[in-house]
Structure 1
């Protein structure tokens, strides 16, 4: 009888979640809406270059997570509940890290350059917290 690998299932999908949320951020907010670049302290050309670096990093994380996930499935040791928890931890972790560290502590960029940032910050970070709570609930449920 195979034992499900909860730890690796969660790690693989944390990577997938981080890669997915970074991709959503980069595609929607950086490219489609053009609200900001990853690094807004310089020229528009450097901002676009920094978006390319972010995109490269998200792809590396996503591919790494995908291969870990595929390996777990192939060996039939994927723990789906831990995998879903990890995915939401990755989504929310990226969102909250970006909102607090990149936006506020480092000031690399803001969500949007408007006079009143508070609604944007609350929505951005609140959504990250919601995703983390979903991950936590799924994680707790997997221990029952």
Structure 2
């Protein structure tokens, strides 16, 4: 396997794993534990359960795909820089999930809010976006610092 192939597998795998992980956290925390919202706020409970089921299946697929890609990439030779690259990609994927889910579902499609019915619903939505942006920025800078090394991964 070439350096470029390993790097791509690490890049895609860590991003997809982070994206899926944040989706799983969203589903567990907001959908199940807090019961603030569902993917589609249907008037009947079966519609909510079905939409959440599709969502949970999709993020589970992302977790599995991300894990497989990382497994296929193997261990990077430079462990310290390899860890930074994978952690940065993971955080970038997690932050992008929050940004996409927040912008598309909360604002463009208006499928649901973070905490619908609350007088501060917009504040919750904006905090959700700000958290996603912060996580993505941190991930970007961690990854960016690891990309500067030409000998990051062995052939």
**TM-score, normalising length: structure 1:** 0.90
Structure 1, 79-88 or 57-66: larger mean CA deviation: 79-88
In the other structure, the counterpart of 2:151 is: none
Mapping of 1:64-79 within 5 angstroms? Answer: 64-73=65-74, 79=82
Structure with max Cα Rg: 2
> What's the RMSD between the two structures over aligned residues?
2.1
Instruction: Give the drift of 1:68.
Output: 1.0
Q: 1:103 to 1:12 in 2, by over 3 A?
A: same
Contact 1:92–1:127, Cα closer than 8 Å, also in 2: yes
Residue 106 and residue 74 in structure 1: after superposition, are their counterparts in 2 closer, same or farther (change >3 A)?
A: same
Residue 86 of structure 1: CA displacement?
1.3
**How far off is 1:75 after superposition?**
8.5
Asked whether the equivalents of residues 31 and 37 of structure 2 are also in contact (C-alpha less than 8 Å), the reply is yes
> Post-superposition shift, 1:138?
1.1
1:126 aligns with 2:130: yes
Unaligned runs of 5+ in 2: 149-155
Aligned residues: 143
Aligned to 2:93: 90
Structure 1 gap segments, 5+ residues each: none
The aligned runs of 1:37-116 (5 Å cut-off) are: 37-73=38-74, 79-113=82-116, 114-116=118-120
Is 49-58 or 112-121 further displaced after alignment? 112-121
Q: Give the conservation status (yes or no) of the 8 Å contact 1:6–1:82.
A: no
- 1:136 corresponds, among 130, 133, 140, to 140
Counterpart Cα distance in 2 of 1:81 and 1:48: 38
